Amino acid sequence: MLKDKYRKEIEEILSRYPVKRSALIPLLYIAQREQGYVTESAMQEIAHLLRLTPPQVYETITFYTMFNLKPTGKFHMQVCKSLMCALVGSDTVVEWIKAKLGIAPGESTADGLFSISLVECLAACGTGPMMQINDDYYERLTEEKLDRILADLRSTGTSPLKSGPFMWPEPLNVER
């Protein structure tokens, strides 16, 4: 039960809003963090916590693309396919991933480690092609960079190539 495990965090979230329903998305994030996707029982529990009906939770969760209703790979790769990234080669990135992992958008690898999906603009247009893996952005992708990211994720579960606080062009390049 989420309520027992995250009692303090849930109470803190509820205290921010004068109307309980506002806490719906934050609570769904907790549920997703717990299992990688939002289960039906989690939705029912959240509905109960917020005094909503289960359909009210369901109608909301299905509107937003970031909630998974079924399990994804441990590393969920979301490659931006919008025009700005496509201009600088996002389609090629998808081809690389297909060739390296043998999965097409919407699929997961057999070991459950990687899954890939195509998403729309992630606000990193100046540093495309880019993708998001779980919570982290990876920008200015090249084939070598992709290889290193995949290797890092396999061995350590994280990669130092992920983006830090965003600034582009970097201040060093700016002479003013």
**Span from 21-29, 92-100, 106-114, 152-160 in contact with another protein (CB under 8 A):** 21-29
DSSP H helices in the chain? 2-5, 7-14, 24-35, 40-49, 54-61, 83-87, 90-101, 143-156
Q: To 5 degrees, how large is the angle CA 19–CA 25–CA 27?
A: 90
Minimum separation from the CB atom of position 156 to another protein (A): 19
Residue 18 binds to another protein (criterion: CB under 8 A): yes
Minimum separation from the CB atom of position 2 to another protein (A): 16
The CA–CA distances, whole Å, from 26 to 11, 20, 33, 151 equal: 12, 11, 11, 32
Could you give the strand order of the β-sheet that contains 136-138, starting from the edge strand earlier in sequence?
A: 114-119, 75-80, 131-133, 136-138
Q: Which of residues 82-101 bind another protein (CB under 8 A)?
A: 82-84, 86-88
Binding mask 111-150 for another protein (x = CB under 8 A): --------xxxxxxxxxx---x--xxx-------------
46, 24 contact by CB (below 8 A): yes
Residue 16 binds to another protein (criterion: CB under 8 A): yes
Map residue 42 onto helix, strand or coil: helix
Residue 31 binds to another protein (criterion: CB under 8 A): no
Q: By rule CB under 8 A, what count of residues binds another protein?
A: 51
Residue 14 binds to another protein (criterion: CB under 8 A): no
Q: Within 10 Å of residue 18's Cβ, how many Cβ atoms?
A: 6
Q: Measured from the CB atom, is 16 or 110 closer to another protein?
A: 16
Q: Which residues bind another protein (CB under 8 A)?
A: 16, 18-19, 21-26, 28-29, 50, 59-60, 63-67, 81-84, 86-88, 119-128, 132, 135-137, 163-169, 171, 173-174, 176
